[in-house]
Structures are given as C-alpha cells and as structure tokens.
Amino acid sequence: MVESVLKHGELKDREDIPLTHDQFREIMRRRAVALTGARSFDQGLTICNCPKEQLSPGCLACKSGAWICVFPGFTCNASCRFCPRLTEQNFERRMSEKQMNLLFALISRRAHRIRGLSISGGELFHDNFQAAKKILRHVKMNHPHIYLWGYTNGIAATGDNMQELRDLGMDEIRFNIAATDFHTDTIRKIREQAIRIFPWVTVEVPAYDQTRDYMIRRSGLKELSDMGVKQVNLAEVRVPRPSPGHKDLAPAIKTFLGQSPLYEYRNPFGNSFLTLAESRLITWDILDHAHEHGIDIPVNDCSQDAKTLQMVQCYIKGLFMVQKYANGPIEDFIAGRRQLSFRRIVLRAVAELSAIDPRLGAVAALSAGDISLLPFTRIGRIIRRIKKSSC
C-alpha cells in the first residue's frame, strides 16, 4: 500500500486514498530519510529549519501551550478554495460586549500562564476590526507581558489600519498570501507597509500545490526573505467531512475531497479529521529548497502534530477552558465543562497520551511537572459570579 502511494516523495494512485493515520506515518518516515533542511524538537512534533528559539515569540508561546486564540467574529471578505469553514464567511455571530468582558475576566485569572494571544476569525480588517482593537487595547493595558499578533488575508489591510493595530500594542502580523492566490498586490503591501510598521511579519499559508509553485518555482521564498519577512509558517490543509443535513459544502471539501490524496488524522482527544496528504510533503520540499539554495528565513512546519502539541500543553497548563470560551458562547462553555479538577485530568491525560503516542506522553509528562491547576468547579463559580454582577 505504501509503495503504491509514494513515489519520489509524491503521492500517487488516488483511488487508494484515504490513507489511515499509520499508513501516512510510514510515508512520512520514509520521506524523512531524505529531508536535509530541517531540525526536530519536542519529540519530533516540532520541525523547522532553524533553532527553535529563533521562531516567532508567538510560535514559541503556542508550542508551549501558553497561547490563547480569540475569535471576535467570523465574517470574511475572501473566498479561499482551501477554507475549512462551512458557512462562517457569511455568519453574523460576533462576540458580544458581555461575552468579551467575561473573556477578559478569564484571561486575568490565567494571565500568569499566558504568553501569547492572537486575533483570528474571520478577517481581522473586515467587520471584526473594532472588536479586535478593543481586545488588543485591554490585553496590552492590563497584561503587557502577553505577546500579541493577528491574522489577515491582506485584502483590506492598509498602512493606516495596520498602524492603528501597532499603536495598540500588536507585536506581529501574519499574512495568508494564499488567500489572494499569492497576488503581487498583497505582497507589495507586506514589502512597502507591513515590514515598516511591525517588528515581526510572518507569512502563514496552507501547504498545497499552489504554495509549492510560488515558494519554489516562482522563487517566492527568496522574495519573502529578501524583503524582510521574519518567518514562513506552512500549515497542513484540513478537509472537514461533509456535515449531514448541510446542503452547502466548505470550499476545502469541494476542492480536495475526491480530487487529492487525503489521510485521516487522529488526535489524542478522540477527534479525527481528513487532511491533505500532500501538505507535509510540500512543506518538507520547501524546507529542503531553503537549505539547498541558502535562503535564510525560518520555515516552520505547522503540522497537525504541532497543533496537537499545542493542545496537549494548553490542556495541561489549565488554559483549555479559557481557549474553549474564546471560541464560542458562554452557555456552551458552561454546559461542556466537566466536574473534574484539572489536576486529575492532567494525570489521566499523561497516562492516556503515553499509550496513544509516546512522543505526546513524554511532552505531557515534562509539562505537567509541578503545575498547580485551577479546578473546573472554581472556574464555573467565577463565571457565574461575573455573569450575575454584569446583569
């Protein structure tokens, strides 16, 4: 089976897809033998082409589980063919004033463990801009040690609105230039404006065929390095399963399902989802390209493994529930909490992770250490008290 789908580092015979997680692991193990431009950290869950400490402070916060990603809204002004969202591009759900204040209170309770906070969505410079500014202002004023960054497709980004965010304390901006098909207008905004405004500019894109074409064939990786982009993050493309009862399909389903090789990724939290199998192979091709051509820019393999590492660390550090609330309404947050202490969950998680994947178990055991964690029950009381006082 593995030989039938792997040939010179590329996937073949699409009728054999989807691959199982274990089959894909074997493919990546064989590809890794020829990987010359990468270094491995965190039990192999972090792969990049530089010392880990040279990555963005935001990435380091993420990899240590000390990061919160806030979604002030989900409206977007792009139509990316790789987007895993089903309806959120036109979905009007936004974080209310009350929800935002509750989130601020939870962040304050956990601020000593939070090293980074990012603004996602939805598009940063679209309908979510005012809410994003309020979040940045509050966090920078009350928790100045927290590193702040935001994600954008660049379509509505201007020198003025980027400067507004920088003045509010945003440390880094990340452009998804794949959202505009690597168009020169977006790249020009990075070169002429973003680089001059922010101390750290990252290009973060999904790894698919068009990414390899731009980064390698069109010398885009060298172009980004030469203009002063600090880092390139390459993410695996996630393809959601079609939801029963939904007539509309997420763009990623229309683009890749039945058209490109996929594999089923399983994480230790019992979730599984389809992932574009070529993504990591493309990422590793770009890592090798940077090494072979002496292109001096950090390239980070932002894989499903790396995201699982973040989830495990976040879980253990007691930030899981804060992140859960940052993703959704307070009612869902309270209804979904378990009446168990984080301490008990941590001990159970370390044992379970070790059984599922020794790499995760090793990382979890190191992280658990002597952390004193806030019980779910106390978080529930805090939320109820805040809700009552804000009514």
Q: What is the pLDDT of residues 237-275, one digit of tens each?
A: 988 777 666 666 777 878 887 778 888 887 766 677 788
Q: Where are the domains of the chain?
A: 2-9+16-312, 328-390
Over residues 118-158, the pLDDT tens digits come to 999 889 999 889 999 999 999 999 999 999 999 999 999 99
* Angstrom distance (rounded) from CA 197 to CA 164: 10
Cβ contact 369:317 at 8 Å? no
Question: Rounded CA gap, 149 and 129, in Å?
Answer: 13
Amino acid identity for residue 24 in this structure: F
User: What does pLDDT average to over the chain?
Assistant: 79
Residues 6+ apart with CB under 8 A from 390: 98, 101, 102
CB burial of residue 43 (10 Å; 0-12, 13-18, 19+): middle
Distance CA 134, CA 270 (A): 35
- CA–CA gap between residue 69 and residue 29 (Å, rounded): 31
Q: What is the C-alpha to C-alpha distance for residues 216 and 9, in angstroms, rounded to an integer?
A: 16
- Cα distance between residue 380 and residue 372, in whole Å: 17
Residues 204, 264, 277, 184, Cα dihedral to 10° = -30
pLDDT at 320: 63
Amino acid at 244: P
Instruction: Name the 3-class secondary structure at 42.
Output: helix
98: tokens are 């009350």
Query: What are the strands, taking DSSP E only, across the chain?
Result: 6-7, 10-11, 39-41, 46-48, 67-70, 116-119, 147-152, 172-175, 200-206, 231-235, 238-239, 262-266, 272-276, 299-302
Predicted pLDDT at 257:
77
- Helix (H) or strand (E) segment spanning residue 57: helix 57-63
Helix (H, G, I), strand (E, B) or coil at 192: helix
Highest mean pLDDT among 28-32, 233-237, 315-319, 321-325: 233-237
Q: Which CATH architecture has domain 2-9+16-312?
A: Alpha-Beta Barrel (3.20)
At 18-58, the pLDDT tens digits run 787 788 888 888 888 889 889 988 878 889 999 999 999 99
- pLDDT, tens only, 276-293: 889 999 999 999 999 999
Three-state SS for 293?
Answer: coil
CB 50 within 8 A of CB 39: yes
